[in-house]
Amino acid sequence: MTNPLFQKDIISISEFTREHIELVLQTARELKEHPRDDLLKGKLIGVTFFEGSTRTRLSFETAINRLGGRVIGFADASNTSLGKKGETLADSIRIITSYTDALVMRHHMEGAARLAADISPVPVINAGDGANQHPSQTLLDLFTIYETQHHLDEIKIAFVGDLKYGRTVHSLAEALSLYNARIYLVSPESLAMPQYILDHLSAHNIKFSVHPTIEEVIPEVDILYMTRVQKERFDETEYQHLRSKYILNAAMLTEAKSNMKILHPLPRIDEITLDVDASPHAYYFKQAANGVYARQALLSLVLNKEI
């Protein structure tokens, strides 16, 4: 039977059903346990990063190489016809997708991946379009939550830090609304979760609450999802004041449940102190490693009728 993601564009997590998510997670698990080097054999994938992102690009390229595929592309657009000669994005996409079997694309403008998908004859995988979507990040987050908790339904998860601009938390919250999650929100008031996300959660009967400190949610949750509060969004005095509230250190973890894991989309700057790394709760580096398996799963499903 043809898998439902075969030849499909992967642009937004909002287009995923529970069945799609579970298919990706199951495939990622199988590929992690039983690596395959043949699923992209003979396939050429365009990996085009119009905006730089080292971890995401290397993770996709690793996934493609591990599966036996080959890669063409670029790590930033400054040296391309688009960057240097003023070619439109649409024309660049038309050319690149005439060479390749699929396109992985990152771009700084929201909607760029959708435009690419609308004009590309081959599947497009969105590796991040501005502040909008980054579906492979959401899928690797879900894979990691499943791996550590053995279920997704009714997960108790706290989102900490920049909830206003962080597309990672927006998309993950949206995906978890399919799983009746209990969501705890911890952020400065000026970086609170946008109203439209809260409306989405309410529409799906997802229970959420807002908390002023990390400490009060730590004993409650299965997943503590940390994000970076960006220094440049505040003046120095305000930032120093916030630091104490939104920085996690090892001493704060004494009340955590034994199954609780700390995730972070990385890069981590100073919101998780180094002493947390040795804690059994720390899982963010394994989460980053899982990015390869989640992306292997996506690419395999998009380019193979059956696996």
**Catalytic residue list:** 55-56, 85, 106, 134
Check residue 240 for interaction with other proteins (CB under 8 A).
Answer: no
205 Ramachandran zone, left/alpha/beta (phi>0; psi -120 to 50)? left
Give the H/E segment covering residue 114.
helix 112-119
Among 132, 137, 148, 304, binds other proteins (CB under 8 A): 132
- Cβ(221)–Cβ(248) under 8 Å? no
- Cβ(90)–Cβ(115) under 8 Å? yes
Provide the token pair at 250.
């090892």
Check residue 109 for interaction with other proteins (CB under 8 A).
Answer: yes
Reported residue count of the chain is 307
Check residue 68 for interaction with other proteins (CB under 8 A).
Answer: no
Stretch that binds other proteins, among 97-105, 109-117, 180-188, 279-287 (CB under 8 A): 109-117
> Is the Cβ of residue 132 or residue 144 nearer to other proteins in the bound state?
132
Residues 62, 63, 66, 67, Cα dihedral to 10°: -150
Give the three-state DSSP class for 209: strand
- Cβ(135)–Cβ(11) under 8 Å? yes
Check residue 119 for interaction with other proteins (CB under 8 A).
Answer: yes
Among 36, 62, 130, 198, binds other proteins (CB under 8 A): 130
- x/- letters, 12..51, toward other proteins (CB under 8 A): x-x-------------------------------------
DSSP strand pairing (223-226 vs 261-263): parallel
Calpha distance 274→206 (Å, rounded): 33
- x/- letters, 146..165, toward other proteins (CB under 8 A): --------------------
Check residue 78 for interaction with other proteins (CB under 8 A).
Answer: no
Stretch that binds other proteins, among 56-64, 98-106, 125-133, 221-229 (CB under 8 A): 125-133
Point out which residues bind other proteins (CB under 8 A).
12, 14, 88-90, 107-112, 114-115, 118-119, 129-133, 196
